[in-house]
Structure 1
Amino acid sequence: MTSAPVLVAPWRTPIGTAGHGFADLTTTDLAAPVLRAVLASLRESGCEDAVDDVVLGNCLGPGGDPARIAALSAGLGVEVPGVTVDRQCGSGLEAVMQAAMRVRSGDESVILAGGVESASTAPWRFWPPQAGSEPVRYTRAPFAPDGFEDPDMGVAADDLARLRGIDRVRLDGYAARSHRLAAESDFTSEIVPVAGIERDQRIRSNMTAERLARLRPSFSPSGTGTAGNSCGISDGAAALAVTTESRAKGLPALRVLGAAVAGSDPALPGLGPVPAIEKVLRRTGVALSDVGVVEITEAFASVVLAVSDELGLDENLLCPQGGAIAMGHPWGASGAILLVRMASQMLADGGPELGLAACAIGGGQGIAMIVERAW
């Protein structure tokens, strides 16, 4: 017997700029307050069912299963297990997708799912030394094996803009929109204050296209990606409860219609969301024209615009309250942050009925999920 999974009690931390407000906070310090907030929301609504599991996405944490450690720190009890998943920038959305599948199957009733990243406290890692040499620190894991292109993400974003004919003016214009929309929005209702910080740290109201145009390329001398039209390295966490309609007890909820992952060319990882979105549209029978809000992780303006161009999206539906360019991109948490952001918009009075969340992933992958207002 299958049960339609719904998402309730969405919460997130403020998104902190790495090395600043959350500089000394670990993945546990960030994830535990959010898990406590989700649990408190469930209890206030009378949803007293025991939590079956905690599933969190994370990319660069210290190991040791951050989800389980955060669950214990949040006071969920030793009987509540936890598992950490890694699909790089799609990890937070992957965690929710896995939880939704388990609830849909009928095996589980309540799972807390989301993601967390502390770039500030991520441990340094080193390759083992070769004979007679010193260990070599690496700043990122390989996304593809020998024989495949494996560009750094910024370089790949520049390549994508060049190959798709997206010029600097358009990139900066989109970035200015992200900054403006985020600065005009009030995110208070979705944020759990942490360490005295109550607001996203990166958002700037004065980032106009003219100011952005003065920034130099960040990734290659002739590239178009800059610090202004790309995301910031960030710290943060987000989580929500995945449960059944009957157990949601009338809580404001989003029903998970479907989700999908797909592979794409590792040389152009920014196009990864395209096949994933096409796949989930086929699975659900939803027409893209019926979707009222689209949240794509704004790792780079070129990624969002290239995906939009490939699919023929209405750009007015893209990240209507700004995105990671303005707010920051805590890698393992960002997919879950998309769902929290989408819930705030869809569950508001007059909000859209259908929403689509998607992430591009290093190495050439994409992940996407379609949700609808449950009632």
Structure 2
Amino acid sequence: MPDEAVIIAARRTPVGTRGRALASLNVEQLAAPVIRAVRDDAEAAAGRGLAVADVVLGNCMGPGGNPGRVSALAAGLGVEVTGATVDRQCGSGLAAVLDAATAIRAGDDRPRIAGGVESASTAPVRSVDGVRYDRAAFTPQGWPDPDMVQAAEDLATVDGISRERQDAHAARSHRRARTARDAGRFAAELVPVAGLTADDSIGVAERLLSRLPVLFAGGTLTAGTATRISDGAAAVAVVPRRLAGHAPGLAVRGHAVVGCDPALPGVGAAPAVQAALDLAGVDIRDVAAFEIVEAFASQSLAVLGRLGIDDDDARVCADGGALALGHPWGASGAISVVRLFGRLVRAGAPAGTFGVAAASVGGGMGVAAVVEVIR
């Protein structure tokens, strides 16, 4: 019978705003230190050496060349350790973790390292016939494919989400992140790189929120209620239960990827969360911790509304989310898993406690996972 997949180690870099502290590092330079730290943590937790079979990383913007394999080699794991790269846009890092878990649950019970990495600062310039473009299309011709900022504004209009609610949501994210940072709750998960030891955007926009101009005439979205484009990496060790030993961790109990209207891609996390909960047989009221990628305040609020969760529910991004920490696209979903590990495993939550990680995805999708603490 296939073994269950358990996350027994989780690390991330500090998140750096594009063009700042991490701007000189390419994807493997961001990912390799995190991969090494996760491997070392996992072996210490399991009390044995672990022969890593594969490194699976989410990445959105390049540079191509299979960052999963390149990062595995850069981390010094050995030429026999393969690598793969997943692109589900903002859900890529979470999707990579779930791909690793799925392989183990399907019977290939070799340990894996999975996560995500994004270097927005060094992503290659793209062009067609010499004409530069910022991103590839998320849908074919004839389908809605809004710019993500416009999609967030459209969602605020459709759901009637006011500027004031968005400002309050962003302020809450910054406040929670600042409190967590000052209390040292991020310390055990961080791998400093390039001299950066803490997420560099926490609190930056907080005091300016009410004074920032809207991005669209007559709209509600501002630069403070949209996440900062960022650089960063995150990874976890996924192993079969039999190799975990007595290590505490997060067992993957259910996960789902769903599609939604590409005109309003920001809502995709909501049906994905519900589908994953249904597959896991878990009631949303029994979830102790949610980590839902906050791409925009309006998008985050729209997801919470569809799930019947209050704006200020203490279970959701309790130490702040991407609005405060920043949003390295391909890594953000994996950062959500690292944050669950910190909030539940490192913080001593009892066995049987449930957590949920989720992200909405450009093009009209959502990805979510349900995890349970084991001890």
Q: TM-score with structure 2 length normalisation?
A: 0.95
Q: Equivalent residue for 2:193?
A: 194
Q: Give the whole-Å Cα distance in 1 for the aligned partners of 2:43 and 2:189.
A: 17
The percent of aligned pairs where both chains have the same amino acid is 53
Q: Check conservation: 1:183, 1:205, Cα contact below 8 A.
A: no
Q: Give the whole-Å Cα distance in 1 for the aligned partners of 2:373 and 2:169.
A: 28
User: Is 1:212 matched with 2:248?
Assistant: no
User: Is 1:24 matched with 2:24?
Assistant: yes
User: Is 1:68 matched with 2:64?
Assistant: no
Q: Equivalent residue for 1:325?
A: 323
Q: Equivalent residue for 1:252?
A: 248
> 1:7-156 to 2 correspondence within 5 Å?
7-45=7-45, 46-127=47-128, 129=129, 135-156=130-151
Shift of 1:73: 0.7
Deviation per residue, 1:326-348 (Å, 9 max, x gap): 01000000000000011100114
Shift of 1:205: 6.9
Q: Give the whole-Å Cα distance in 2 for the aligned partners of 1:179 and 1:49.
A: 38
Q: Give the whole-Å Cα distance in 2 for the aligned partners of 1:144 and 1:82.
A: 27
Read off the aligned partner of 1:35 and give its amino acid letter.
I
Q: Equivalent residue for 1:268?
A: 264
Q: Check conservation: 1:52, 1:108, Cα contact below 8 A.
A: no
Q: Check conservation: 1:12, 1:192, Cα contact below 8 A.
A: yes
Q: Give the whole-Å Cα distance in 1 for the aligned partners of 2:363 and 2:58.
A: 17
Q: Secondary structure at the match of 2:304?
A: helix
Shift of 1:40: 1.1
Q: Give the whole-Å Cα distance in 1 for the aligned partners of 2:220 and 2:156.
A: 8
Q: Equivalent residue for 2:361?
A: 361
The gaps in structure 1 that reach 5 residues or longer are 130-134
Q: Secondary structure at the match of 1:329?
A: coil
Q: Equivalent residue for 1:132?
A: none
Q: Give the whole-Å Cα distance in 1 for the aligned partners of 2:195 and 2:286.
A: 40
Q: Equivalent residue for 1:303?
A: 299
Q: Equivalent residue for 1:184?
A: 179
Q: Give the whole-Å Cα distance in 1 for the aligned partners of 2:245 and 2:217.
A: 56
Q: Check conservation: 1:234, 1:329, Cα contact below 8 A.
A: yes
Q: Give the whole-Å Cα distance in 1 for the aligned partners of 2:348 and 2:109.
A: 32
The gaps in structure 2 that reach 5 residues or longer are none
Deviation per residue, 1:133-174 (Å, 9 max, x gap): xx1001011111122111100101011011101100000001
Deviation per residue, 1:289-338 (Å, 9 max, x gap): 00011111010011111111111024222111101000100000000000
Read off the aligned partner of 1:125 and give its amino acid letter.
R
Shift of 1:206: 7.2
- The correspondence for 1:346, drawn from 344, 353, 364, is 344
Shift of 1:41: 1.2
Read off the aligned partner of 1:67 and give its amino acid letter.
G
- Shift in alpha-carbon separation, 1:91–1:183, aligned structure 2, 3 A: same
Q: Give the whole-Å Cα distance in 1 for the aligned partners of 2:25 and 2:8.
A: 26
Read off the aligned partner of 2:113 and give its amino acid letter.
L
Read off the aligned partner of 1:215 and give its amino acid letter.
L
Q: TM-score with structure 1 length normalisation?
A: 0.95
Q: Check conservation: 2:97, 2:334, Cα contact below 8 A.
A: yes
User: Is 1:223 matched with 2:219?
Assistant: yes
Q: Give the whole-Å Cα distance in 2 for the aligned partners of 1:323 and 1:303.
A: 13
- Shift in alpha-carbon separation, 1:37–1:350, aligned structure 2, 3 A: closer
Q: Runs of 4+ in structure 1 displaced over 6 angstroms?
A: none
Q: Check conservation: 1:293, 1:356, Cα contact below 8 A.
A: yes
Q: Give the whole-Å Cα distance in 2 for the aligned partners of 1:205 and 1:152.
A: 25
Deviation per residue, 1:13-55 (Å, 9 max, x gap): 0000000001110001000000010111123232313111110
Q: How many residues align?
A: 366
Q: Equivalent residue for 1:236?
A: 232
Read off the aligned partner of 1:155 and give its amino acid letter.
Q
Q: Equivalent residue for 2:158?
A: 163
Q: Give the whole-Å Cα distance in 2 for the aligned partners of 1:332 and 1:48.
A: 29
Deviation per residue, 1:42-81 (Å, 9 max, x gap): 2323231311111000001211101101100100000000
Q: Check conservation: 2:30, 2:117, Cα contact below 8 A.
A: yes
